[in-house]
Homo-oligomer: A and B are copies of this chain.
Amino acid sequence: MTSLTLINRATCIFNTLIKLPATKQLVPFFPAYHQHYSVSSKQVSAKMATEKTLPEIFKYVDQNKDSYKQLLKEAVAIPSVSCDVKYRADCIRMVHWMQDKLKEVGATTELRDVGFQTIDGKDVQLPPVLVGVLGNDPKKNTVCIYGHLDVQPALKSDGWETEPFELVERNEKLYGRGSTDDKGPVLGWLHTINAYKGTGAELPVNLKFIFECMEESGSEGLDSLLMDKLKPEGFFDSVDYVCISDNYWLGTTKPCITYGLRGISYYFLEVECAKMDLHSGVYGGTVHEAMSDLIYLMNTLVDKDGKILVTDIYKSVAPLTETETKLYTTIDFDPEAYRKTIGAYKLAHNGVKEQLLMHRWRYPSLSLHGIEGAAFQPGAKTVVPGKVIGKFSVRLVPNQEPEEVEKLVFDYINKKWAERGSPNKMSITAQSGRAWTENPDHPHYQAAARATKLIYQTDPDMSREGGSIPVTITLQEASGKNVLLLPMGAGDDMAHSQNEKINVRNYIEGIKLFAAYLFEVGKLPK
């Protein structure tokens, strides 16, 4: 371990430097790590990884399964919900927790302040972004890894069968909020390093880490950190490849590698009719109610088949080519299994496979998420809300530009509002992130495909994703390098919904996949 050189190299990257006390490396976090740190001789004579070392690493991963689950349990227990400020302290705690773990595997880390967000006119501190470096051998390729430590909200009363923030194993599945999105994969990288070190093998690449805790809330502050600070500071100069594990297989059995994501444009549509909520008996019939105005506006956005009604919104969508059309036919995807998993009565587009895939990946979709300020509890609350905020979002695709889509939506809503002719007050705001696609024929993708085949004995599908990870495109721009999405979880993991889980198989084989991926990338020409 050339930690000293690493720290020296670090000085020119980081404004502040957190020197790793040697003792820290000798105070291991859990048994698996203890095992390798105690074998300090191996650290000194760390041997270059060869094809032969991978089986050793895989064996080591299997041996340390339980401690890897244990660490995920601890991470899930921290309710790092980023969209609700009352969990902000937990988000910050989560980042510090992960920083300790990175230090334990020998990384140099730093917490970067990204300022405040404004909520109801108040400034609220954003969680810091965790930036790390491990290794700086000029002969090796350098991989920059991104992941997020925050999660979507979850309450047992939403319909969870277990406590959302308590990792529970049932039938080879690990249930808990964040298990698959994205704490499991983030820890996967940690365990991969642990496994290399545990077997005394030298890492085949240099690693850089960017772990944030606001991804589920528009990654506030991250873009400017990457573009205005880390880039000018030279953080990306040595980066050769970027890898993100924050999405899922298409189905439940066949792995995939992802080269495209939809963007998102999230809207807050506010209507106000009074300065307070009103008793519907005492005031009903005498006010123009904000709810009926909001419901009217929300009803103008999308039809029952999911067709977006916003004028011209499909205009800039990239035209479908023959080559692209062919891609969808070969992909392994079972609409009926998909329908059953979510318990839908009937899928859109009559459940035609190619159409479903295209509408998940290459066409925009609009979803109505809910209403803030209205009655949401069980029971018969008889209130006329004074102010309501409708929430909806559009998933963006190439070549839709967020600014363009926002303008179309604003113009459309303003037009509908004028038609409504209500005396109430209406306003609309948006948060957006662009769509992203990459070239799947790039050697980086081929390396990941070889690694995947080694672990799962099958060629992965080259897929796109309906979800959005806005930072992907920023990382592509900041590094100017090829970005790859390497999913760990399965298609039925239910990220964002009740009973989110990751299969024990995906979690453990995923660690091996990451190890094989780093090995394959290590072999790519510098």
Among B293, B301, B495, point to the contact of A279 (Cβ < 8 A).
B495
Contact B381 A391 (CB under 8 A): yes
Sample 19 A-B pairs with CB under 8 A, ordered by A number.
A83-B377, A216-B380, A262-B281, A266-B382, A275-B342, A280-B496, A284-B367, A285-B306, A285-B360, A288-B305, A304-B420, A367-B384, A369-B383, A370-B371, A370-B383, A372-B377, A375-B391, A380-B393, A386-B497
Q: A residues 195-225 with Cβ under 8 Å of B?
A: 216-218
Interface core residue of A282, A302, A305, A377 (most chain B CB under 10 Å): A282
Q: A381-B370, A496-B383 are in contact. Are A343 and B276 (CB under 8 A)?
A: yes
Q: A276-B343, A345-B425, A372-B376 are in contact. List 17 more A-B contacts (CB 8 A).
A: A83-B381, A152-B383, A153-B377, A218-B380, A266-B380, A277-B496, A280-B393, A281-B468, A282-B496, A284-B365, A285-B363, A287-B342, A289-B302, A298-B299, A370-B375, A370-B383, A370-B385
Interface core residue of A296, A304, A366, A380 (most chain B CB under 10 Å): A380
Contact A292 B363 (CB under 8 A): no
Q: Which residue of B lies closest to A497 (CB)?
A: B277
| Residues in chain A within 8 A of chain B (CB atoms) | 82-85, 119, 152-153, 158-159, 216-218, 248, 262, 264, 266, 268, 273-289, 291-293, 295-296, 298-299, 301-306, 338, 342-349, 356, 359-360, 363-372, 374-386, 391, 393, 395, 420-425, 431, 465-468, 494-499
Among B266, B343, B380, B384, point to the contact of A386 (Cβ < 8 A).
B343
Q: A376-B372, A395-B280 are in contact. Are A299 and B302 (CB under 8 A)?
A: no
Q: Which residue of B lies closest to A391 (CB)?
A: B375
Residues of B within 8 A of A364 (CB): 285
Residues of B within 8 A of A264 (CB): 281, 382
Among B83, B289, B382, point to the contact of A380 (Cβ < 8 A).
B83
Contact B498 A466 (CB under 8 A): no
Residues of B within 8 A of A382 (CB): 152, 216, 264, 266, 367, 369, 393, 496
Q: A248-B282, A286-B348, A342-B287 are in contact. Are A276 and B499 (CB under 8 A)?
A: yes
Q: A381-B152, A466-B283 are in contact. Are A295 and B295 (CB under 8 A)?
A: yes
> Distance (Å) between the CB of A385 and the closest chain B CB?
7
Among B278, B344, B360, point to the contact of A274 (Cβ < 8 A).
B344
Q: A286-B349, A304-B420, A386-B343 are in contact. Are A85 and B378 (CB under 8 A)?
A: yes
Interface core residue of A302, A364, A370, A393 (most chain B CB under 10 Å): A370
Q: A280-B369, A286-B359 are in contact. Are A423 and B346 (CB under 8 A)?
A: yes
Among B266, B345, B379, B386, point to the contact of A83 (Cβ < 8 A).
B379
Among B262, B345, B363, point to the contact of A424 (Cβ < 8 A).
B345
Interface core residue of A268, A276, A347 (most chain B CB under 10 Å): A276
Q: A296-B304, A304-B293, A370-B376 are in contact. Are A343 and B274 (CB under 8 A)?
A: yes
Residues of B within 8 A of A424 (CB): 345
> Distance (Å) between the CB of A430 and the closest chain B CB?
10
Interface core residue of A266, A375, A386 (most chain B CB under 10 Å): A375
CA distance A364 to B285 in the complex (A): 7
Q: Which residue of B lies closest to A266 (CB)?
A: B380
Closest 3 CB pairs of A and B: A83-B379, A275-B343, A281-B467
Residues of B within 8 A of A303 (CB): 292
> Distance (Å) between the CB of A349 and the closest chain B CB?
7
CA distance A388 to B385 in the complex (A): 18
Contact A84 B359 (CB under 8 A): no
Contact A84 B365 (CB under 8 A): no
Contact A369 B360 (CB under 8 A): no
Q: A359-B286, A360-B286, A382-B264 are in contact. Are A291 and B393 (CB under 8 A)?
A: no
CA distance A369 to B386 in the complex (A): 11
Q: Which residue of B lies closest to A392 (CB)?
A: B291
CA distance A381 to B274 in the complex (A): 25
Contact A288 B273 (CB under 8 A): no
CA distance A82 to B466 in the complex (A): 42
> Distance (Å) between the CB of A433 and the closest chain B CB?
11
